[in-house]
């Protein structure tokens, strides 16, 4: 695998241990996330273990305002360790730890007891994760597409048509035939750019990172004369 795009857009999160496990898959060592609160018992540090599934292959992490909680932990850890390039929009900012305390009568109360902090000590709460490259989500329209053009009828307070409804203008048969729109194959760059521009740019970024990494790799030692298997 030459590279990976980890798409965390609109991922509302999950359990803490799951976030730690995902980040650990791409880190060899160091802090993944810390929890800190008023009570010392709430302070915990989660560290990465040896082993990177991608063996240092380039990574791009996609995030947006729908990325929250556990997905922010993953993005923040990979960003602080410079393991991945984070691209997209600032995340939601759900960085608090909730603890359920039983009341003894069958009821319970859920309290916020701590906050999540990235390896560099950044609080996720209300701030979220700011991408390395901010890129808003938008839809790319074909310049020849009918829906890309503003029409008189779209304007507020436009002059109404007071007659001739239903009348068809006389046109030449050749003119009345619409020219076919250019088609794009599924999976092509132009189709991807139209359907998901953020993913399109992430893929371009990953291609560049992969090329740069291959050029910076140390040259392989030449085989000795007469060498080779056999």
Q: How far apart are CA 77 and CA 139, in angstroms?
A: 30
List active site positions: 69, 80, 94
- Angle at which helices 16-24 and 70-80 cross, to 10°: 30
User: Phi, psi (5° rounding) for residue 32?
Assistant: -95, -50
Residue 211 makes CB contacts below 8 A (sequence gap 6+) with none
Scanning the structure block, which residue is given the tokens 């360790």?
Answer: 81
Alpha-carbon radius of gyration of the chain: 27
How far, in Å, are 5, 182, 189, 190, 192 from residue 185 at the CA level?
Answer: 22, 10, 9, 9, 10
Per DSSP (E only), the strands in 28-93 are: 31-36, 44-47, 59-63, 85-88
Beta-bridge mates of residue 45: 34
């Amino acid at each position: 695998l030459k590279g990976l795009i980890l798409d965390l857009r609109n991922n509302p999160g999950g359990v803490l241990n799951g976030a730690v496990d995902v980040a650990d898959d791409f880190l060899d060592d160091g802090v993944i996330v810390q929890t800190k609160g008023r009570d010392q018992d709430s302070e915990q540090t989660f560290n990465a273990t040896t082993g990177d599934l991608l063996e240092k292959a380039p990574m791009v992490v996609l995030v947006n305002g729908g990325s929250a909680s556990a997905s922010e932990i993953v993005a923040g850890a990979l960003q602080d360790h410079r393991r991945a390039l984070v691209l997209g929009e600032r995340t939601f900012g759900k960085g608090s730890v909730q603890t359920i305390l039983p009341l003894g009568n069958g009821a319970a109360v859920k309290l916020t007891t701590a906050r999540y902090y990235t390896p560099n000590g950044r609080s996720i709460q209300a701030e979220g994760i700011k991408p390395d490259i901010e890129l808003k989500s938008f839809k790319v329209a074909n310049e020849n597409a009918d829906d890309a053009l503003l029409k008189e009828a779209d304007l507020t307070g436009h002059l109404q048509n007071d007659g001739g409804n239903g009348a068809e203008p006389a046109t030449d048969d050749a003119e009345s035939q619409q020219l076919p729109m250019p088609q794009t194959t599924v999976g092509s760059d132009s189709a991807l750019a139209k359907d998901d521009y953020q993913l399109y740019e992430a893929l371009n970024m990953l291609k560049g990172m992969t090329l740069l990494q291959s050029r910076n790799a140390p040259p392989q030692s030449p085989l000795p004369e007469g060498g080779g298997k056999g």
